[in-house]
């Protein structure tokens, strides 16, 4: 098990943030971009990124797939993990500070709330990408497949509980509520398959 | 020797990691560690014993996650009973040692970030504490990364046990808890709650922790605990390893002790080998120290250094600490309905946004803390105070002053407040002291002591100081000290008594000379006089000069700020004059800016400014327009056409959501100027629309957008928030006489709750129209569950509400 808390220089993609805000192929005006940048600084100051990772072997028995604690017949995950003998389970968060901003702006400015949502989503994706890069570095002899999260395809959200028992997510501040929703809201759990380099 | 005495006299060595040891013995990932108390009793005992033999003189039970979220009642009792028995058994075998009952975080995040209510958390921890039945020497609450959950757990222990309580939190590399508290904030909160020792554990490695210990020692009057991890865990060749060796770890813990920590041990990754080295090195240090000077370590500097940080009175929010006695503190007075019609109306109508705007503008104008008073006749004050306090805490991290003459309201608010509050107030009246002091003692707080008693307000300074002494003397019986009080010498209307102000100021001087902290509701002095700000600000200057610790004032008053900023600058309390300079330049620059601001032709009209989403400009232009036109003319001629233009653009996909919202906020600014003359009444409002995100769903951004737009279109919006049970929605719809109820849901899992709410609404309030929306909703589903309408986006909801309003108007005519 590995815990990561050091995420220097998280990249930020303004284009991604605009995409989350519904901009597709159309440029945003100067005023909006300035406010987006203002909000980005605010969100950045609240980031407390952290992640926990655990490597597991992938076993197959007919339709059934076993990755450590996770036992599933999900076809989409099976396809995703094709040829993978190992996989890393991880949970990552951008921190609860973003939720504080969301709650604040929900009350005083839905506009800024929307911007924080978009910026926060970009940052948590960046944290997850950094985790994947770390996994790649740790496994130079393997090829990494795209990360796969509960809720994708036919791999239901109910598998969140397995992630929470396999990883010390509470210790890094991620909790799961009774509706299987994570708090902080900007958190991600995922499986990253590893296959031998050809 | 009991534990409480022991931690005052000697160093205490705690054990190291329990989870780490259990994993070494075969505990699998995901297995509940506390079950091993039942299934692997021998292994657990062996771990306890190993730590005792390594030199730990206090061990913790294997009960980190023993709470009702993880276990059913029967198993919970069993893991707790066994857990205690195993630890005590090990101590018996060894011959000595203390047993601490271990309590970890519950695993859920508290509201508003998570779903667990504060009282539910208190009850959850209480169930565990009650099962312990005082069979141990003390409690250790550990690994808490949220200050609010920490408070819940502490209350649970204090309400169900008198045993000593040690508390440790998880700090990040930035020296803060996950939810924002600094070391000083946690010391303030935990000292207020009356714990016996405090500190940090887990997360940080020992080197980083050693660097933070001086910060604790600087502020804490209590013994400080250090229980670090052996660095961060890392997977190497399929095994989890920790970065720090026992040698490095123990050297760093010795450094912690040398810096003043009194209770040391280990967390994740540490083993008996680590604790053996810690106990040896720190034990030797303790012995050598004893020889040198027969004094307690760490506390030897107490009271001697002239700038001892511990001498200030302190309050805090969940993240900010306020020191009283260091430099004057400005408490904003605006959230108090006395003499404020608009605020009174807002409280009565449950109009949170008006109140929150007051909070934010005071913060912007430099308030260090905010007074919150909800005393309106006919209103349930306790409920209103808690609701308002929580609302204000959700938008600002400023510490709050809970202000009420109702002890029930004060107790409820002090309990739920996320931090250590200012409490307003107590007086020299025996009956009042009896009611208020237990609240302050239990929840922590700095209480304003009004210098009056059964006989009224003494006419002289001596008389008022005497009451201060009486209050202090009585407070001592409850365990309160000087730093728990802010004495208010009472500012009276000088127009009624020409000597009144003089006596008040003399009292401030006399109290300051005695080293007491003081507070004054300054504005009263000018009551009944014209141009009140002028005399108020001079009185404020005089009081500050005499050493006033805190002033309750209107931060929006330019005169007050002039005095305040100038006083700090003149008194050496504004480093580099940065406070004064930024204030002074803001006073002039806004004038200049107005004179030269270049405008494009589009932006010169209010309509254009709103369409462009320019908030400041919209406010400015609206302010100009109200001098020339009527409110109706401005609303119908400028604001509504702008909103319609943008709304139509949104529907036609020419305008994107952010632009729509920016315009909505610019319109809101313009509205607030135009409605200024309406004095916050319901005048000009259309029918009531009730909004809620249904039970189980916490995604409410869509609902918030709808709210903003509906308000723009002058609907009276009642927002019930997110995760709202059907019964509450129905009850409020009835009570508030809503014409339309708008429900949102984002997750498929919450669709049944949506259906249930709609069916209940149709049954109980058949005349109320129900409109539903959200990512997972469709027209077809809306019809199936019996909703009156489906809205595909925020504008569609506005159009629907307009339609319903139109129909209703038609019916009336």
Q: Provide the token pair at B19.
A: 């989870």
In chain A, whose CA is at the least distance from the CA of B658? A111
Q: What is the pLDDT of residue B656?
A: 83
Q: What is the pLDDT of residues B28-70, one digit of tens each?
A: 878 899 999 999 999 999 999 999 999 999 999 999 999 999 9
Task: Evaluate whether B741 touches B770 at the Cβ level (below 8 Å).
Answer: yes
Chain A neighbors of B658, CB-CB under 8 A: 21-22, 28, 32, 111, 114-115
B280: helix, coil or strand? helix
**CA B220, B223, B225: angle at the middle one, nearest 5?**
100
Mean pLDDT of the region B707-721 = 89
The answer, yes or no, to whether residue B25 has pLDDT greater than 50, is: yes
Q: What is the pLDDT of residue B681?
A: 44
Q: What is the pLDDT of residue B598?
A: 56
Are B665 and A109 in contact (CB < 8 Å)?
yes
Q: What is the pLDDT of residue B595?
A: 46
Q: Is the ipTM of this complex over 0.85?
A: yes
Candidate ranges B58-67, B566-575, B804-813; pick with highest mean pLDDT = B58-67
The answer, yes or no, to whether residue B611 has pLDDT greater than 60, is: yes
Q: What is the pLDDT of residues B190-229, one digit of tens each?
A: 999 999 999 999 988 899 999 999 999 999 999 999 999 9
Q: Give B771's pLDDT tier (boundaries 50, 70, 90).
A: very high
Q: How many CB pairs under 8 A join A and B?
A: 147
* C-beta atoms surrounding B672 within 10 Å: 14
Mean pLDDT of the region B387-402 = 96
Are B114 and A179 in contact (CB < 8 Å)?
no
Alpha helices (runs of H) in B613-725, residue ranges in sequence order: 615-625, 631-634, 640-651, 657-674, 701-712
Q: What is the pLDDT of residue B42?
A: 97
Mean pLDDT of the region B510-517 = 97
The answer, yes or no, to whether residue B749 has pLDDT greater than 80, is: no
Chain A neighbors of B202, CB-CB under 8 A: 171
Give the closest-approach CA distance of B418 to chain A in angstroms: 13
Phi, psi of A88, deg, nearest 5: -110, 130
According to DSSP, the residues that pair with B740 across neighbouring strands are B689, B769
Mean pLDDT of the region B780-801 = 92
Give the closest-approach CA distance of A116 to chain B in angstroms: 11
Give the closest-approach CA distance of A66 to chain B in angstroms: 15
Mean pLDDT of the region B666-683 = 70
Q: Provide the token pair at B703.
A: 């609902």
The answer, yes or no, to whether residue B230 has pLDDT greater than 80, is: yes
Q: What is the pLDDT of residues A114-145, one digit of tens each?
A: 999 999 999 999 999 999 999 999 999 999 99
CA dihedral B514, B516, B521, B527 (to 10 degrees): -10
Phi, psi of B321, deg, nearest 5: -110, 145
pLDDT higher at B587 or B293:
B587
User: How big is chain A, counted in residues?
Assistant: 198
Alpha helices (runs of H) in B304-380, residue ranges in sequence order: 341-349, 352-364
The answer, yes or no, to whether residue B505 has pLDDT greater than 50, is: yes
Quote the percentage of chain B above a pLDDT of 70.
95
Q: What is the pLDDT of residue B721?
A: 87
Are B704 and A113 in contact (CB < 8 Å)?
yes
Longest dimension (CA), chain B: 96
Give me the residue from A2, A114, A170 closest to B234, CB to CB: A2
Mean pLDDT of the region B100-109 = 96
Mean pLDDT of the region A47-54 = 95
Q: Give A28's pLDDT tier (boundaries 50, 70, 90).
A: confident
Q: Nearest-CA neighbor of B186 among B158, B237, B222?
A: B222
Are B113 and A184 in contact (CB < 8 Å)?
yes
Are B113 and A22 in contact (CB < 8 Å)?
no
Mean pLDDT of the region A61-81 = 94
Which residues 38-97 on chain A approach chain B with CB closer than 8 angstroms? 48, 53-55, 68-69, 95-97
SS (H, E, C) B413-447: HHHHCCCECEEEEEECCHHHHHHHHHHHHHHCCEE
DSSP character at residue B377 = T
pLDDT higher at B167 or B660:
B167
A37 near B CB under 8 A: no
Q: What is the pLDDT of residue B412?
A: 98
A144 near B CB under 8 A: no
For residue B576, give Cα distances in angstroms to B266, B572, B580, B704: 44, 9, 9, 42
Of chain A, the end-to-end C-alpha distance in Å amounts to 27
Quote the percentage of chain B above a pLDDT of 90.
73
Q: Can you give the pTM of this predicted structure?
A: 0.90
Are B664 and A111 in contact (CB < 8 Å)?
yes
The answer, yes or no, to whether residue B764 has pLDDT greater than 60, is: yes
Chain B neighbors of A21, CB-CB under 8 A: 656-658
According to DSSP, the residues that pair with A196 across neighbouring strands are A142
Q: Provide the token pair at A35.
A: 């406010």
Least confident of B100-114, B688-702, B763-777: B688-702
Mean pLDDT of the region B159-184 = 95
Q: Give B599's pLDDT tier (boundaries 50, 70, 90).
A: low
Q: What is the pLDDT of residue B585?
A: 86
Chain B neighbors of A67, CB-CB under 8 A: none
The answer, yes or no, to whether residue A30 has pLDDT greater than 90, is: no
Mean pLDDT of the region B89-109 = 96
Q: What DSSP string runs through B573-636?
A: -SGGGHHHHHHHHHHHHHHHHHHH----TGGGSHHHHHHHT-HHHHHHHHHHHTTTS-HHHHII
In chain A, whose CA is at the least distance from the CA of B204? A5
Chain B neighbors of A179, CB-CB under 8 A: 115, 696-698, 747, 749-750
Q: What is the pLDDT of residue B626?
A: 87
Q: What is the pLDDT of residue B682?
A: 47
Q: What is the pLDDT of residue B661?
A: 87
The answer, yes or no, to whether residue B601 has pLDDT greater than 50, is: yes
Q: What is the pLDDT of residues B403-418, one digit of tens each?
A: 999 999 999 999 999 9
Q: Is the Cα dihedral B258, B264, B268, B269 positive or negative?
A: positive
Q: What is the pLDDT of residue B588?
A: 65
Chain B neighbors of A26, CB-CB under 8 A: 656
Q: For chain B, what is the mean pLDDT?
A: 91
Are A2 and B113 in contact (CB < 8 Å)?
no
Chain A neighbors of B105, CB-CB under 8 A: 170
Q: Give B593's pLDDT tier (boundaries 50, 70, 90).
A: very low
Q: What is the pLDDT of residues B455-483, one digit of tens each?
A: 999 999 999 999 999 999 999 999 999 99
């Amino acid at each position: 098990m590995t815990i990561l808390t050091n995420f220097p220089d998280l990249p930020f993609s303004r284009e991604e943030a605009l995409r989350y805000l519904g901009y597709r192929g159309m440029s945003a005006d100067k005023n909006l971009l300035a406010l987006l940048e203002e909000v980005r600084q605010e969100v950045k100051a609240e980031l407390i990124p952290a992640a926990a990772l655990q490597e597991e072997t992938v076993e197959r028995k007919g339709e059934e797939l076993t990755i450590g604690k996770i036992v599933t017949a999900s076809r989409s995950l099976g396809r995703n993990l094709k040829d993978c003998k190992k996989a890393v389970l991880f949970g990552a968060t951008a921190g609860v500070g973003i939720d504080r901003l969301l709650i604040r702006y929900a009350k005083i400015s839905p506009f800024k709330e929307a911007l924080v949502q978009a910026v926060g989503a970009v940052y948590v994706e960046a944290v997850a990408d950094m985790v994947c890069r770390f996994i790649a570095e740790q496994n130079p002899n393997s090829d990494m497949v795209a990360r796969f999260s509960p809720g994708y395809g036919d791999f239901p959200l109910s598998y969140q509980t397995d992630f929470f028992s396999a990883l010390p997510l509470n210790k890094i501040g991620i909790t799961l509520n009774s509706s299987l929703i994570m708090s902080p809201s900007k958190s991600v759990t995922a499986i990253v398959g590893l296959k031998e380099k050809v | 020797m009991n534990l409480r005495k022991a931690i005052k006299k000697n160093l205490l060595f705690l054990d190291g990691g329990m989870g780490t040891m259990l994993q070494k013995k075969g505990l699998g990932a995901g297995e509940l560690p506390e079950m091993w108390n039942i299934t692997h009793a021998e292994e657990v005992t062996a771990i306890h014993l190993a730590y005792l033999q390594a030199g730990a003189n206090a061990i913790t039970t294997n009960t980190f996650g023993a709470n009702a979220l993880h276990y059913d009642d029967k198993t919970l009792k069993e893991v707790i009973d066994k857990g205690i028995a195993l630890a005590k058994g090990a101590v018996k075998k060894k011959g000595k040692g203390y047993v601490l009952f271990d309590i970890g975080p519950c695993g859920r995040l508290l509201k508003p970030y998570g779903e667990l209510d504060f009282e539910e958390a208190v009850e959850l921890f209480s169930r565990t504490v009650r099962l312990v039945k005082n069979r141990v020497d003390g409690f250790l609450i550990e690994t808490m990364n949220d200050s609010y959950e920490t408070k819940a757990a502490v209350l649970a222990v204090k309400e169900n046990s008198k045993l000593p309580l040690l508390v440790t939190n998880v700090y990040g590399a930035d020296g803060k808890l996950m939810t924002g508290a600094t070391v000083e904030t946690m010391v303030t909160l935990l000292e207020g709650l009356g714990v016996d020792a405090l500190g940090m554990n887990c997360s940080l490695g020992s080197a980083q922790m050693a660097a933070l210990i001086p910060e604790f020692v600087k502020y804490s009057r209590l013994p400080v605990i250090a229980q670090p991890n052996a660095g961060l865990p890392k997977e190497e060749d399929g095994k989890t390893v920790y970065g720090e060796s026992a040698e490095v770890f123990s050297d760093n813990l010795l450094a912690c002790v040398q810096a003043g920590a009194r209770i040391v041990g280990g967390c994740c990754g540490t083993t008996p080998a680590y604790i053996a080295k810690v106990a040896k090195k720190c034990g030797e240090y303790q012995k050598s120290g004893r020889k040198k000077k027969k004094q307690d370590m760490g506390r030897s500097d107490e009271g001697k250094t002239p700038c001892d940080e511990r001498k200030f009175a302190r309050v805090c929010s969940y993240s900010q600490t306020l020191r009283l006695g260091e430099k004057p503190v400005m408490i904003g007075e605006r959230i108090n309905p006395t003499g404020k019609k608009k605020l009174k109306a807002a409280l009565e109508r449950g109009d949170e946004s008006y109140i929150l705007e007051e909070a934010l503008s005071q913060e912007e104008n430099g308030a260090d803390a905010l007074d919150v008073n909800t005393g309106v006749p006919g209103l349930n004050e306790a409920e209103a105070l808690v609701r308002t306090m929580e609302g204000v805490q959700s938008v600002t991290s400023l510490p709050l002053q809970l202000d009420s003459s109702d002890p029930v309201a004060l107790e409820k608010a002090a309990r739920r407040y996320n931090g250590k509050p200012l409490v307003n107030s107590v007086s020299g009246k025996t009956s009042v002291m009896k009611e208020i002091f237990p609240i302050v003692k239990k929840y922590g707080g700095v209480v304003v002591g009004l210098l009056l008693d059964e006989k009224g307000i003494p006419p002289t300074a001596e008389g008022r100081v005497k009451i201060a002494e009486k209050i202090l003397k009585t407070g001592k019986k409850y365990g309160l000290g000087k730093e728990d009080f802010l004495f208010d010498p009472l500012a009276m209307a000088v127009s009624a008594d020409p000597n009144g102000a003089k006596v008040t100021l003399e009292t401030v001087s006399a109290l300051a000379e005695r080293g007491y902290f003081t507070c004054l509701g300054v504005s009263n002095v000018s009551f009944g006089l014209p141009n009140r700000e002028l005399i108020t600000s001079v009185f404020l200057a005089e009081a500050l000069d005499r050493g006033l610790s805190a002033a309750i004032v209107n931060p929006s008053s330019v005169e007050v700020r002039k005095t305040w900023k100038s006083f700090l600058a003149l008194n050496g309390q504004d480093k580099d004059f940065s406070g004064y300079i930024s204030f002074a330049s803001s006073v002039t620059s806004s004038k200049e800016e107005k004179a030269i601001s270049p405008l494009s032709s589009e932006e010169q009209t209010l309509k254009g400014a709103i369409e462009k989403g320019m908030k400041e400009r919209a406010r400015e232009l609206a302010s100009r327009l109200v001098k020339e036109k009527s409110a109706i003319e401005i609303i119908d001629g400028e604001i509504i056409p702008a909103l319609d233009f943008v709304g139509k653009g949104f529907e036609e996909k020419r305008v994107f959501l952010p632009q729509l919202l920016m315009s909505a906020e610019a319109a809101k600014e313009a509205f607030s100027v135009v409605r200024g003359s309406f004095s916050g009444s319901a005048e000009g409002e259309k029918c009531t629309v009730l909004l809620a995100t249904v039970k189980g769903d916490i995604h409410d951004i869509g609902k918030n957008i709808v709210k903003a737009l509906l308000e723009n279109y002058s609907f009276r919006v009642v927002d019930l928030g997110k995760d709202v049970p059907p019964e509450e929605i129905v009850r409020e719809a009835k009570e508030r006489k809503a014409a339309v109820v708008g429900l949102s849901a984002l997750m498929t899992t919450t669709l049944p709750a949506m259906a249930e709410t709609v069916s209940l609404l149709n049954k109980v309030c058949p005349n109320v129209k129900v409109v539903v929306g959200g990512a997972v909703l469709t027209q077809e589903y809306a019809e199936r569950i019996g909703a009156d309408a489906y809205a595909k986006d925020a504008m569609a909801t506005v159009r629907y509400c307009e339609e319903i309003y139109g129909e209703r108007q038609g019916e009336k005519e």
